[in-house]
Copies of this chain bind each other. A is one copy, B any other.
């Protein structure tokens, strides 16, 4: 199992410098959240979006969270925000190269989620069953 090629492939990710580790974790912390991933996916597919479009495409998000998440993305250099001085206002968002790179990185996670949806669901059902049959923690 230790020689599992998967695992071997994964082993060299970890940093030697703990300070860098903290920074990596911080970066992950900023970027690894549901709305961020969703917005980046939408912007990957649509190339360029107005606020209202994002609001519709990103089903379930509140205006507040949308604004907040977009600001964070802009601040971190992942999307650009272009304001056209017209009435009514028009604002366009699009991925930067940096954002496109992150999108590519997220890609694997989306695929994993799609492919393993049922396995996770199944595991949850079994877990609940085991808990119902009760306490033999095994």
Interface residues, chain A, with chain B CB atoms under 8 Å away? 1-2, 4, 6-7, 9-11, 13-15, 20, 22-25, 27-34, 37-38, 41, 44-45, 47, 59, 74-78, 82-83, 98, 100-114, 116-117, 119-120, 122-124, 126-127, 137-138
Contacts and interface: CB of A to CB of B under 8 A. Distances in A.
Return the 6 tightest CB-CB contacts between A and B, nearest first.
A77-B123, A105-B112, A105-B108, A27-B113, A75-B127, A29-B34
Q: Name A's interface SS.
A: helix
Contacts of A22: 59
Given A9-B107, A11-B44, 12 more contacts: A6-B100, A7-B47, A9-B104, A13-B114, A25-B34, A28-B38, A29-B34, A32-B109, A75-B127, A77-B127, A104-B108, A108-B108
Given A4-B100, A113-B31, A83 B137 contact: yes
* Interface-centre pick from A2, A30, A119, A122 (highest chain B CB count, 10 A): A119
Contacts of A77: 119-120, 122-124, 126-127
